[in-house]
Structures are given as structure tokens and as C-alpha cells.
Structure 1
Amino acid sequence: MDSNRLLDPTDAFFSTATVGRKKKTGTASGTRQLRGNYKKLLWFKQPFPDNYTDEKTFLDHLQRNPRLQPYEFWSLMADATVLVQHLASVAIFCCCFVAIIHGRVSPVAVVGWASLCTVLAWVVWDHWMGQELGAVNVPLKPTINASETSPEATPTLSPRTQQRLATAKSAVLIYAAVLGLSPILKSLTRSTTSDSIWALSTWLLMMNVAFFDYGGGTGAQLPASISTNSAMMASAVLASRLPSTTHVFSLTLFSIEVYGLFPIFRRQLRARSPWGHLVLTVTLVVAAWGGLFITLTGSGWGAFVAGAVLGGVLTFFSMGVCSWWLIGLQKYKNEIRGPWDPARPIIRRHWD
């Protein structure tokens, strides 16, 4: 860089004292000491132009991938179980629909077992909620005020009891709504060909898998709306192909339990019990692959066992390959940060 240009006396950024000192130093190092350290700030006056670039210190603070967090194999495998569980749930729902429409199983038996599992899951979930409330609420000793002539009225029901009653009320309302809408759903797509129904339901279920909230925490009360709505639409159009109102009611209620309630329990189980999450994953994979082999072959328990073994091995192998592939892609990540990047403001959210 031309030192004469930097120390031009006619430049508006330099004072007369600066020009006088330039004669004493006469070197670039002396100039840098004279002018001080350049700071990339515009809110206070510096003896540098706005477009000044210090060529010798420009790349000193260059950083490559400053926020890179290396993946670990087993952590990726654990995260992949969330995807595997949801895919297995969708596969189980499809296998149950095929078995119902072909008359291999009773729709009442399917929804009965699903409802029993839902009630057991709710009991476990209610126990977890009780533990949280017990850990948060610390009992305080009551204080007695002598000036009070009459005691305050205490609530007759505890918050947990009120929550349980609200849950029971919601369950009854859902049951009554599905029962009342079943005749309408049965005739919903009477004028539509079956090929269009199969294609539409396939796309809707693919949307459910694509838009599902796989990273939702325990605070999430419901899955992503697009995912849930697409699954409900898919179950509605599929139920319209069933022969009776009982079939329609059973499949619709079964879909609500699978796509609306089951994801909430899965999130809580993953946060509460890693071993329980692992056992549930294995159970869903075995049931999904076994049911898929029975659906494709039309055989019995032999096909179920073969599908469970082969499908389990294939699932574990796919999870491992995808995890190693994602780890290998990290070497191609090249995010460069340097002094040319815009400064990030620090916003104070809490004021003293």
C-alpha cells in the first residue's frame, strides 16, 4: 500500500500533528503505531477512511467452520429412531387398512386394541405429569391471620383432577363426533374412482412423513398441523372405501390415535426413558415389517417372523449407512468467517 497516499497532508482525516510526526517516523510500522489499531466500527471517529483495509492484519482473524459440531455415530443412530418410529407407525396403519378392507381382521378388534394401548399410554403420561407437578410445587405451611373472621373457600377439585376430567370430556366429544360423522365419511367419495383414492391417499401420507415435526420437544402438545391434517385427510378418503359405517368409525378413530395422540406419547417417552424409547422402536419395527410381509404375501406367522427379522436387519443397516454418510459429508463443509462479515449486534433482553 502506498504510504505517501495514506499520509497525504491534504487528506481530511489527518491533522497537522500527524503530518509532522510522519517526518520523524518515516516507516510503515511507525505509521501504524502513530495511527493506532484500526477497528471495524463506524460509530466513533478514526483517522482512517470508511473503506480502509489493513492488508497486513486483514486475514489474522480468519475462521473456518467456527460453529461446526462434529457428529457422533451413536447420537445420529439415536436421532434416527424418531424417523423410524413414525415410518413404522404409518406402515402399521396402512397394513391395518388393507387387512380391514379385505376382511382379514375385524375393524372393532383393531380399534379396540389401539384404544386399550391409548388408555395405558395416557395412564403412564398422567403419572409423568404428576411427577412434574410434585417436583415443581413445594408445599408451604399455611399461615393463620387473626383478623380473618371466615376462612377462604378451598377448591373442591385439585388441578390434576380437573385436567383428568377435561381429558375425559375431550375423549367423549371426539368419540361422539367421529360416530356422528361416520355416515357422511362413508359417502364422501362415492363418485370418485378407487385409483384416484389410492393416489390421493399416498400423496397425503407422504406429506405426513415429510412435514412431521421430528425435532419437537416435550413441550409440544400436538404434531405439526400440516402433517396431522394430511394424515386425517388420508384416513378420511380411505375410510370412504370401507363397506359399513362401523368400518368407517373404527378406521377414523384408529387414525386419530395413531397420528394425533401417539406422537405425543413418543416424545414424552424419549425424554423420560431412553430404554423405553428403544423398546418401543424395536416393537414398532417388528410390527411394521411383519405386517408388511403378511400383507404382501398373504401368509401367516411365518411371513411375520421372516419380515420382522429381515426388516429389522435392513432397518439397522440403513440407519448405520445413513449415519456414516452424514458424518463423511462434514469434511466438505467450508464456512469461512472473517473481518469482512457484518458485525452481529448484541441485544440486551433484560434490563437492570
Structure 2
Amino acid sequence: MIGINLLGRMVNGAKWKKCLYENYGFPDNYTPEESFLAAMQRNKNVRLYNKTECLQGGAVVGREVSIVVTFWSLYLYLSEGYVESEQLIISLTIVLCIGYLQYLRRVSLNSIISGGKTTLLFLVVGYAVSPILYKLTDSISTDTINLMSAGGLILHLLSVDYGIPGPIVSRSISLNSGIFSTVCLASRLQSHVAAFALLYLAVFCFVLVPMWSDVYNPNPIKSLFTALVSVSLLARLMPSHAILVSLLLAFIQFICPAWFYQIQSYKQTIHGPWDEAVLH
């Protein structure tokens, strides 16, 4: 009886359409047999990335890893006395001024003022608490401090905004975890000036570099230069670790993008009448 009624409606000129909000006299789950598989679509809305885009993505991740390695290396330099605290502060100030002058050409003056206020706030607070900071964790073992610092830096790398949304991506988490690691490491330095220099370096690496990255997108060449700098700094103190870091950066910046580019051809998704209706 239902089949006769449906046939009658079709004969009377009613044409089935996949539309949720209009009633054509058919059941909600009705689909004509001749159009069921014909409506199937493969790889709908699937984006395929070219080689340049794949290398660009690897450069973003590689750049962030290089910055963390550079931060760790300069901490070791401060701790071992290979660089003076005043030298590091002066060098960072020069780079900071040059960066802001270049940044001024790309963005508005209000953005510069906002970023300058944030930087100044971190530096003033850091210098004010540095006499307390470098003696903060004397009762905690060095191995525990190093483990906590490493965990904070790993969390920083996992939660950094690489340009792709995700449940763990959070600029506040990445910044706080980086500053947490800095506080732990600064408490193992020998003077409050050294602790302030490390905080200054953390502000540069974890606050300013992400802010500048919104304007200066990293590319494979810039990321490779950053990787060479980080590996060179680490090689002076830990040659074996520098080799491992070099292999890691090569894997992230070159092997992973090439691999991703190759496996894109295996993407297979199908869409059809069985999908849930969506509002357009």
C-alpha cells in the first residue's frame, strides 16, 4: 500500500530531492535506487598539499624545535660560564631593537606599543623577582629540576600554535610551560643577573618570536639557518647531542614533509546519501 502511494506521488509529478526542510511526500529515509550510488562522491573537500606547502609546514615545526634547543644551549653557556650574563643581555637587546624596527614596517604602531608593553612587563617583573628566583629551589635536586624543565619544554612544543587547530593547541599553555621551565632552570644559576638574563632570553624565545611569526612566516631556508645556529651552539658543549638534534631536525624539516607529500595519494573518503544532512 505504501509502495502504491509512493508510486502515485511520483507519477503525479512529485520529484524527490535531498532536502531536509521541504516535504515532497516521501519518507525521511527514502532514496531512489538509481541515485543512491550515483550520488556517491570520493575525496570530497580533501585538500592536497604541494611540495612547497609541505616543506613550509616542516619549517614551522623545525623552527620551534631549534628555538628550544637554542634556549637550552644558552642556559648551559650561562651555567658553565662560557658567556657572561651582561653579554647575553646586551646581545638580546640589540636583536630586540632590530627586530622591532623591522616589525614596525609590517604592522601598525598600536601593535608595536602593545607588544612593547608586554615585553617591558615581563622584563620588569623578571628583574624584580630575580634575586629570589635564583635561590628558589635549593632544596630540590638538580635531576628533578632538569626533568621538570624538560617536561615543560616538551609541553611547550606540543601546545605551540603551528597554524593548525587542535585540542592541545594553546598559546597560553605553551607560554606558561616555557616560563615554568625557565623559572626551574634559573634557580640553578649562580647570580640574580644570570637568572634575569635567562628570563630575558625566555621572553625573547617564547613571547616575541611567536608574535613576530604572525608577520614573518618561517620558510625552509630561514628554518634551516635557525637549525644550524642551534646545532652549532649545542655542539660546543655536547657534540653527541648535537648530532642527535641534527638528525631530528633533518627528519622534521625534510623527511616528514616528503613522506607526507607521498602518502597523500592514499587518501580515500566517500560521501553519499547515507551522510547526515547538514545546513548549508
In the superposition, the TM-score normalised over structure 2's length comes to: 0.85
1:35–1:47 CA contact under 8 A, matched in 2: no
1:82 alignment counterpart: 60
Q: Aligned pair in 2 of structure 1 residues 195, 290: CA closer, same or farther (>3 Å)?
A: same
1:228 aligns with 2:181: no
Of residues 11, 16, 32, the one that matches 1:38 is 16
1:189 alignment counterpart: 137
Residue 173 of structure 1, CA deviation: 4.0
Amino acid aligned to 1:284: T
Matched residues in 2 for 1:166 and 1:343: separation?
A: 45
1:62–1:336 CA contact under 8 A, matched in 2: yes
Amino acid aligned to 2:222: L
Matched residues in 2 for 1:92 and 1:163: separation?
A: 27
1:245 alignment counterpart: 192
Matched residues in 2 for 1:46 and 1:65: separation?
A: 30
Q: Aligned pair in 2 of structure 1 residues 81, 51: CA closer, same or farther (>3 Å)?
A: closer
Helix, strand or coil: the match of 1:66?
coil
Q: Aligned pair in 2 of structure 1 residues 234, 48: CA closer, same or farther (>3 Å)?
A: same
Matched residues in 2 for 1:330 and 1:62: separation?
A: 21
Matched residues in 1 for 2:206 and 2:83: separation?
A: 21
Question: CA RMSD for the aligned pairs?
Answer: 3.0
Number of residues of Structure 1 aligned to a counterpart in Structure 2: 275
- Which runs of 5 or more residues in structure 1 are unaligned? 19-30, 131-159, 217-222, 299-303, 347-352
Q: Aligned pair in 2 of structure 1 residues 281, 330: CA closer, same or farther (>3 Å)?
A: closer
Q: Aligned pair in 2 of structure 1 residues 290, 42: CA closer, same or farther (>3 Å)?
A: closer
1:292 alignment counterpart: 234
1:207 aligns with 2:155: yes
Counterparts of 1:143-222 in structure 2 under 5 Å? Answer: 160=109, 171-215=119-163
1:330 aligns with 2:264: yes
1:321 aligns with 2:249: no
Counterparts of 1:58-73 in structure 2 under 5 Å? Answer: 58-73=36-51
Helix, strand or coil: the match of 1:345?
coil
1:6 alignment counterpart: 3
1:282 aligns with 2:224: yes
1:115–1:257 CA contact under 8 A, matched in 2: no
Q: Aligned pair in 2 of structure 1 residues 171, 47: CA closer, same or farther (>3 Å)?
A: closer
The structure in which a higher percent of residues are helix is 2
Residue 324 of structure 1, CA deviation: 2.4
Counterparts of 1:260-275 in structure 2 under 5 Å? Answer: 260-270=207-217
2:275 alignment counterpart: 341
2:54–2:261 CA contact under 8 A, matched in 1: no
Amino acid aligned to 2:160: F
1:136 alignment counterpart: none
Of the two, which has the highest radius of gyration? 1
Matched residues in 2 for 1:267 and 1:203: separation?
A: 26
Residue 42 of structure 1, CA deviation: 5.1
Matched residues in 2 for 1:278 and 1:333: separation?
A: 26
Residue 172 of structure 1, CA deviation: 4.5
Identity %: 25
1:49 aligns with 2:18: no
In the superposition, the TM-score normalised over structure 1's length comes to: 0.69
Q: Aligned pair in 2 of structure 1 residues 44, 228: CA closer, same or farther (>3 Å)?
A: closer
Q: Highest relative contact order (Cα 8 Å, sep 6+), 1 or 2?
A: 2
Residue 323 of structure 1, CA deviation: 1.7
Q: Deviation per CA, 1:186-212, whole angstroms, max 9, x where unpaired?
A: 222121111110100000000000100
Matched residues in 2 for 1:185 and 1:201: separation?
A: 15
Q: Deviation per CA, 1:31-52, whole angstroms, max 9, x where unpaired?
A: 8544532223454443433443
2:220–2:253 CA contact under 8 A, matched in 1: no
Helix, strand or coil: the match of 2:215?
helix
